[in-house]
Structure 1
Amino acid sequence: MKVITHTATLTSFCDALSQAEYITVDTEFMREGTFWPELCLVQVAGPEDEAVIDPLSDGIDLQPLYDLMANETVLKVMHAAKQDIEIFHHEAGVVPTPLFDTQIAAMVAGFGDQVGYETLIAKLTKVRPDKASRFTDWAHRPLTDAQLEYALADVTHLRPAYEKLRERIGGNGRLAWIQEEMDKLADPGAYEVMPEEAWRRLKPKRNQPKYLAMLRAVAAWRDREAMARDLPRNRLMRDDVLAQIAARPPDDEKSLQRVRGIPKNFAAGRLGQGLLAAIEDGRSVAPGDAPSIPEPLQLPPGSGALIDLLKVLLKHKCDRHNVAQKLVATVADLEAIAADDDADVAALKGWRRDIFGDDALRLKTGEIALAAGRGRVQIVEVSAAPANEETEAAE
């Protein structure tokens, strides 16, 4: 087992892998007490070599690793890659590209919605990964050989799994199906932390300009302070406290200190003064400049049954094509289709429209129907126009 703790060794390892067709990549990190994830290990494997890289080693420079992540001639294979990418983006401003996420790929290869790593490895390689070291404190040093071997296995098992998955997807012509998802995953904008957008994390229900302007101001204050202090957001101030302040903004130190959930002596300190300044910023926002949330979709009367039928059609189509439902359409997509034939949803575009969207619209207009027979759902062509509401009422 190769454990890399020096820059020269890392440079040599990454130079060799820069000639590989693909590499498998995983990270171990800790985040319980910080805003940003603390990178503790990076595991990388090429077709014939593998190593554990220790970012916490004294004096090690990870730039050769980041250069490899940015090398567009080498495919980076990861499983459920979003958190790993977030770390690379934060540490070095790098998003690994090109990218192949085996969890997303498994969704078009018949393994269901968001299949876990252990399940996918077991199904593809017939090996059951050892998860005994799952709850390791990865920031602790020294790590045991068993812990390092556990970490390295995550990328060595991923090699044969990727090759079999790629062969299966390539054989049925579905590589293009997942490329759109890979492009979204590799978008650097998805990993930018923007304090002015932090209010959306609280998922407000009140679409009132004054409230939303205040919520934006105090949530942005919290994000900036949490990032500067490297503290989890809710350790600095809980979501429900921010919501209280946005609903009834305090005017001064005394009224801020009385807000439930505010720590003792908070209002008079630097954080309290910063929060009061943010509250004043929120008050100064003109109604026309306040953020807003989308109004709930107004569904036509009686559309609940249609949405249920669309759900059945979606399951039927996904079972037939052996693809995960979540990759084809969401419940929100189905509701939008029920309300509008030209809904701007992924389910009515590209390959999703081919396998589901067109028939969803035909079901909505009554050109096809769903029937049960021989123990399964079937699609039936409808020759006559469906009964109108008056006929149904008369019956």
Structure 2
Amino acid sequence: MDIISTTEALAEFCEHAATQNFVCVDTEFMRETTFYSELCLIQLATPEREAVVDPLADNIDLAPFCALLVNDTVIKVLHAARQDMEIFYQLCDCVPGPIFDTQIAAMALGFGDSAGYGALVKGRLGITLDKGARFTDWSRRPLSEKQLSYALADVTHLRDLYPGLVQELTDKGRLKWVEEEMLPQMEESLYTFDPEEAWQRLKVRNPKRQYLAALKAAAAWREREAIAKNVPRRRILKDDAMYDLAQQRPRDLKALERLRGIPRGFEKSRSATGLVDAIAAAVDNAADYAPPAPKVQHMPPNLGPRVEMLRTLLRLRTEVVGVATRMVANASDINRLAAFGEDAGVPALKGWRRDMFGEDALALLRGELALRLDGDDVVAETVTPQ
């Protein structure tokens, strides 16, 4: 097993990887007590070599790895890439690419919604993964050979999976589907932590301007505190406290102390005054500071039967083609389709999703398509509306 703990060894491996068509990448990290993920291990595999990189090794410089991540001639193969991408963004200060996510590929080939890595390896390679080391504290040193082998298997099996997935996607004309599905993950805004945008992680429970201003200010204050102290947001204040602050808008520490969501004694902390001042300033300047109220589109009544019929049609169409239902339409999409039809503004009415499901969904809503039982099977057939 190649264990890399020096900058020189990492640079040599990355120079090799830069000559390959693809490199499989995975990480092990800890985040239970921190705001940012603590990168503890990097696993790499090319068609010819594999290695485990110790990012916690003394004096190691990960710059060669960052250069590999942004090398646009080498495809980076990951499974369920979202969290890894966040780590890479913090490490390299840019979004890496190009990326191929085997979880999305598996969805495009009918392995179900959010296919797990173990299930994919079992289904495609017939290998049952050893899960004995999955709860390892990856920040501790030294790591055992068993732990390192467990971690390395996450990329060596990816290396075996990738060519077959690409070939089948190509044969079925679905490679573009995966590339399209990856586009949202390439948005830089997904990986930045702008305190002034932190309110968007919360549910807006009141459209009034002063509530929105206070919610935005409280969320921004919490985000800055969490980043500065590198602790999870909940360690600063829980979400329920954010809603209480937005609703009550305390202007002094006494008023803050009375809020149910504020921990006892918090008003005595050094940061409490900053929170109260931030909320007061935001409320006083609500006309300029408050974000726009979210547009609420009221759903018509009695959607249940239409929703159930659309769900059945979706399952019918995706099972025939062999693609995960969530890749075509999620629950929210189905509800909007049932309510607004052509005006739903959902992905299912665009591109290949419309061809596979959207047109038939609209026909069903217009009464031009019917579902019926044929023995044990559900079939869809064209009908003439009465």
- Smaller-chain TM-score range? over 0.9
Look up the match of 1:379.
Answer: 380
Identity %, equivalent residues: 47
Moved more, 249-258 or 143-152: 249-258
Moved more, 151-160 or 286-295: 286-295
Q: How many residues align?
A: 385
Q: Residue 209 of structure 1 contacts residue 287 of structure 1 at CA under 8 Å; is this kept in 2?
A: yes
What is the letter of the counterpart of residue 345 of structure 2?
Answer: D
Q: Residue 66 of structure 1 contacts residue 94 of structure 1 at CA under 8 Å; is this kept in 2?
A: no
Moved more, 12-21 or 359-368: 359-368
Q: Which runs of 4+ in 1 moved over 4 A?
A: none
User: Structure 1 pair 299/254, CA: closer, same or farther in 2 (3 Å)?
Assistant: closer
SS at match of 1:358: helix
Q: Residue 102 of structure 2 contacts residue 162 of structure 2 at CA under 8 Å; is this kept in 1?
A: yes
How far is 1:143 from its partner?
A: 0.8
How far is 1:70 from its partner?
A: 0.4
Moved more, 116-125 or 199-208: 199-208
How far is 1:337 from its partner?
A: 2.1
Deviations 1:147-177 (A, max 9, x none): 1111111100111111221121111111011
Look up the match of 2:154.
Answer: 154
Deviations 1:164-215 (A, max 9, x none): 2112111111101111111211222211112122122221332222212111
Q: Residue 3 of structure 1 contacts residue 51 of structure 1 at CA under 8 Å; is this kept in 2?
A: yes
Structure 2 distance, partners of 1:139, 1:207, is: 44
SS at match of 2:215: helix
Look up the match of 1:168.
Answer: 168
Look up the match of 1:369.
Answer: 370
- 5+ residue gaps, structure 2, are none
Look up the match of 1:257.
Answer: 257
SS at match of 1:157: helix
Deviations 1:223-261 (A, max 9, x none): 011001101100111111121111112221222233335
Q: Residue 66 of structure 2 contacts residue 91 of structure 2 at CA under 8 Å; is this kept in 1?
A: no
Look up the match of 1:297.
Answer: 297
Structure 1 distance, partners of 2:6, 2:96, is: 22
1:200 aligns with 2:200: yes
Deviations 1:275-299 (A, max 9, x none): 0121112212334752245344323
How far is 1:340 from its partner?
A: 3.6
Look up the match of 1:346.
Answer: 347
How far is 1:367 from its partner?
A: 1.4
Moved more, 309-318 or 77-86: 309-318
RMSD: 1.5
Q: Residue 121 of structure 1 contacts residue 127 of structure 1 at CA under 8 Å; is this kept in 2?
A: yes
Q: Residue 42 of structure 1 contacts residue 55 of structure 1 at CA under 8 Å; is this kept in 2?
A: yes
How far is 1:265 from its partner?
A: 4.5
What is the letter of the counterpart of residue 17 of structure 1?
Answer: A
Structure 1 distance, partners of 2:68, 2:177, is: 26
Look up the match of 2:93.
Answer: 93
Q: Residue 23 of structure 1 contacts residue 44 of structure 1 at CA under 8 Å; is this kept in 2?
A: yes
Q: What are the residue-to-residue correspondences of 1:57-136 with 2, within 5 Å?
A: 57-136=57-136
Structure 2 distance, partners of 1:225, 1:113, is: 36
Look up the match of 1:334.
Answer: 334
Moved more, 261-270 or 79-88: 261-270
How far is 1:222 from its partner?
A: 0.2
What is the letter of the counterpart of residue 211 of structure 1?
Answer: Y
SS at match of 1:25: strand
1:267 aligns with 2:267: yes
User: Structure 1 pair 34/283, CA: closer, same or farther in 2 (3 Å)?
Assistant: same
Q: TM-score, normalised by structure 1?
A: 0.94
Look up the match of 1:142.
Answer: 142
Structure 1 distance, partners of 2:193, 2:207, is: 24
SS at match of 1:316: helix
Deviations 1:285-330 (A, max 9, x none): 3347522453443233443322221111111111111111111012
Look up the match of 1:228.
Answer: 228
User: Structure 1 pair 295/308, CA: closer, same or farther in 2 (3 Å)?
Assistant: farther
Look up the match of 1:309.
Answer: 309
Look up the match of 1:390.
Answer: none
Q: What are the residue-to-residue correspondences of 1:22-61 with 2, within 5 Å?
A: 22-61=22-61
Q: Residue 208 of structure 1 contacts residue 292 of structure 1 at CA under 8 Å; is this kept in 2?
A: no
SS at match of 2:44: strand
What is the letter of the counterpart of residue 203 of structure 1?
Answer: K
SS at match of 1:32: coil
Deviations 1:124-158 (A, max 9, x none): 11111111000000110111111111111110011
What is the letter of the counterpart of residue 64 of structure 1?
Answer: P
Deviations 1:55-74 (A, max 9, x none): 00000000000000000000
How far is 1:268 from its partner?
A: 4.0
SS at match of 2:26: strand
Q: Residue 79 of structure 1 contacts residue 102 of structure 1 at CA under 8 Å; is this kept in 2?
A: yes
Q: TM-score, normalised by structure 2?
A: 0.96
Q: Residue 22 of structure 1 contacts residue 77 of structure 1 at CA under 8 Å; is this kept in 2?
A: yes
Q: Residue 45 of structure 1 contacts residue 51 of structure 1 at CA under 8 Å; is this kept in 2?
A: yes
Moved more, 170-179 or 298-307: 298-307
Structure 1 distance, partners of 2:354, 2:32, is: 42
User: Structure 1 pair 269/301, CA: closer, same or farther in 2 (3 Å)?
Assistant: closer
How far is 1:96 from its partner?
A: 2.2
